[in-house]
């Protein structure tokens, strides 16, 4: 799996020149979308199929500050998946230094907002995630 890369933008920093904490959550989403594409399930394809995957939980542990123009690499891994809920872990690094360890939890819903059991309704997607 390829790492996701994000270059810190000036507008993502605060008056002190440090990346505002809210941006790490955005980077998690960018990396998650990239991750899904890499495993063959781009998010736009999921939406076309009628599948949405809202965030049900976020956890971030900030280790080291980042600043404008830092190149952040993000590794995404599946922590758990039971066919209804997915938990992803993110390790964000600046060079060899971990700057943030985080996770996001998601469920899978149809357009009506009902929970989808992927194993039954979308077995190919289920297999792709279960294999990780």
* Range(s) of the domain holding residue 86: 4-130
Dump pLDDT digits (tens) for 12-26.
Answer: 999 999 999 999 999
Q: Is 14 tagged catalytic?
A: yes
Which member of 14, 44, 59, 124 is catalytic? 14
Q: What's residue 2's pLDDT?
A: 97
Residues 6+ apart with CB under 8 A from 52: 46, 108, 109, 110, 111
Q: How is residue 18 annotated by DSSP?
A: B
**Rounded Cα gap, residues 55 and 38, in angstroms:** 20
Structural domain count, the chain: 1
CATH value at residue 26:
3.10.129.10
The model's pTM is 0.95
């Amino acid at each position: 799996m390829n790492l996701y890369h994000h270059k810190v933008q000036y507008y993502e920093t605060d008056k002190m020149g440090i990346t505002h904490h809210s941006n790490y959550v955005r980077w998690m989403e960018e990396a998650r979308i990239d991750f899904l594409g890499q495993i063959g399930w781009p998010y736009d394809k999921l939406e076309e199929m009628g599948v949405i995957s809202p965030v049900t939980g976020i956890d971030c542990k900030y280790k080291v500050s980042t600043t404008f123009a830092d190149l952040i690499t993000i590794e995404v891994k599946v922590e758990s998946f039971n066919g209804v809920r997915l938990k992803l872990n993110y390790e964000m690094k600046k060079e060899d230094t971990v700057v943030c360890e985080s996770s996001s939890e998601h469920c899978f819903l149809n357009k009506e907002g009902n929970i989808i059991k992927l194993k039954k309704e979308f077995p190919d997607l289920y297999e792709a995630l279960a294999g990780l």
